[in-house]
Amino acid sequence: MKILVTGGSGYIGSVTTELLCDDGHQVTVFDNLERGHREAVDPRARLVVGDLRDPRPIREAMHQVRPDAVVHFAAYALVGESMRDPLLYFHNNLTGGLHLLDAMRRSGVRKIIFSSTCATYGQPESMPMTEALPQRPTNPYGESKLMLETAMRWEQERHGLEPVFLRYFNAAGATEQFGEDHDPETHLIPNVLKVALGQADAVPVFGDDYDTPDGTCIRDYIHIVDLARAHILALEKQETGPFNLGTGTGFSVQEVVATCRRVTGHEIPVVLSPRRPGDPACLVAGAEKARDILGWRPRHPDLATIVQHAWDWHRAHPHGYRMA
Ligand code: UFG
């Protein structure tokens, strides 16, 4: 298939592009390289540098490529930043997304796999979290993703768009070639591994008085390759609508740090820090729908394997995609 991937220079986009290329698909990456990395774009893919906030470049790329499907990652994804500057998120994630949908309609492209998030649910009332839960985001990042889901639903109803919403839990791990390199890095596993690499003295643990067994927040960590595979399954199926992507097992911050200690053999000191505003105590996926309908089964549900792969990548790329 001919696939247009927006945001293919980012963490999840780079690995999905790699797997699509492995499967023999013809991939065009559309990316502004603002927060991603040119080096993270698989060399087998064609790169078009453009910004979705401008409607013209994506219109031209869509017209020229005429892909069989679009996989849409390009977005800002920092909850804290979105709380400080909501308009930044609506402008980039929502306006950019609408320009993409407009370009698709003009070129008659219908199928889209959308990188959505469990942050669209907000503070869940029940656990594990299924797609049936109400969506009540508690930050502009989650809201911007939900608003684009809504726009896609209406575009489906009125113009035959075929959207799939993949609502990710916590992406982690790496392939041999591509891994996680954000600036600033806010995610737990890469921050813990930085301490193991000697690039930081200690990991801050944001709160130990949550209503969880050890008092630290629980998350559902999903291997990036498993996440990427779900996109490919969604491309192959005729299904539309939401799918939660997680393993169904949660790990606390303390358990993640302990696993990183075992995998790396480093001591990894922690410092107790105040709670991070907006962090829910526990987010664990109910991913039966993805299993039953997409035939998706995580191949690396084991946290130690996820951490091992992340560790291998960070040791091989101690400064990320930048040269030392
Ligand atoms: N944490 C620490 N110390 C750190 C970093 C994180 O204790 O240095 C804690 C956080 O407080 C949280 C957990 O580790 O309890 C996981 O934090 P991450 O930042 O790795 O991930 P989040 O669960 O906050 O964020 C993820 C995605 C977002 C998405 C969100 C949905 O990265 O894009 O899930 O809630 F919006």
The verdict on whether 141 is a catalytic residue reads yes
Strands (E), 187-281: 203-206, 218-219, 221-223, 241-245, 251-252, 270-273
Residues 17 and 115 grouped into a single domain: yes
Residues 161 and 301 grouped into a single domain: no
pLDDT of residue 123: 86
State in Å: Cα 265 to ligand 1 middle: 23
State in Å: Cα 187 to ligand 1 middle: 5
pLDDT digits (tens, 9 = 90+) for 110-155: 999 999 999 999 989 899 999 999 999 999 999 999 999 999 999 9
Nearest to 203 by CA among 247, 139, 250, 259: 259
Nearest to 157 by CA among 238, 241, 84, 225: 241
Query: Pairing between strand 282-283 and 251-252?
Result: unpaired
Q: Is the dihedral of CA 236, 110, 285, 262 positive or negative?
A: positive
Among 76, 89, 121, 141, the one annotated catalytic:
141
State in Å: Cα 155 to ligand 1 middle: 32
- Residue range of the domain that includes 148: 2-171+221-245
pLDDT digits (tens, 9 = 90+) for 3-37: 999 999 999 999 999 999 999 999 999 999 999 99
**Whose CA is closest to atom 29 on ligand 1?**
119
Residues 182 and 262 grouped into a single domain: yes
Which of 79, 168, 169, 218 to mutate to test ligand 1, by most ligand atoms within 8 A of the CB atom?
A: 79
Amino acid of residue 197: L
Token pair belonging to 193: 């591994």
Q: What is the pTM of this model?
A: 0.97
pLDDT of residue 277: 84
Contacts of 193 (CB under 8 A, 6+ apart): 260, 264, 307, 310, 311, 314
Residues 95 and 239 grouped into a single domain: yes
pLDDT digits (tens, 9 = 90+) for 241-279: 999 999 999 999 999 999 999 999 999 999 999 999 888
Residues 161 and 302 grouped into a single domain: no
Residues 27 and 38 grouped into a single domain: yes
Residues 107 and 191 grouped into a single domain: no
Residues 133 and 178 grouped into a single domain: no
User: Which of 209, 230, 245 is the endpoint of a domain?
Assistant: 245
**How many Cβ atoms from other residues are within 10 Å of residue 237's Cβ?**
12
pLDDT digits (tens, 9 = 90+) for 162-199: 999 999 999 999 999 999 999 999 999 999 999 999 99
DSSP helix/strand/coil, 118 = helix
pLDDT of residue 322: 86
Residues 105 and 187 grouped into a single domain: no
pLDDT (average), residues 313-322: 95
pLDDT of residue 150: 98
pLDDT digits (tens, 9 = 90+) for 91-121: 999 999 999 999 999 999 999 999 999 999 9
Does residue 280 have a pLDDT over 70? yes
Residues 27 and 68 grouped into a single domain: yes
Distances, alpha carbon 5 to alpha carbons 9, 61, 136, 195, 286, in Å: 9, 11, 28, 33, 27
Residues 199 and 146 grouped into a single domain: no
**Whose CA is closest to atom 1 on ligand 1?**
188
Query: For ligand 1, which residues put their CB under 6 angstroms from it?
Result: 77, 79, 117-119, 141, 170, 186-188, 191, 203-206, 217, 219, 253, 276, 279, 283
pLDDT (average), residues 206-224: 97
**Whose CA is closest to atom 35 on ligand 1?**
119
Does residue 324 have a pLDDT over 70? no
CATH number for 140: 3.40.50.720
**Whose CA is closest to atom 19 on ligand 1?**
187
Token pair belonging to 298: 């995580």
Asked if 203 and 192 touch (Cβ cutoff 8 Å), the reply is yes
- Tally of structural domains, the chain: 2
State in Å: Cα 76 to ligand 1 middle: 15
Residues 144 and 92 grouped into a single domain: yes
Asked if 192 and 257 touch (Cβ cutoff 8 Å), the reply is yes
CATH number for 195: 3.90.25.10
Does residue 231 have a pLDDT over 70? yes
Name the CA radius of gyration of the chain, rounded: 19
Cα angle value 156/160/161 (rounded, 5°): 55
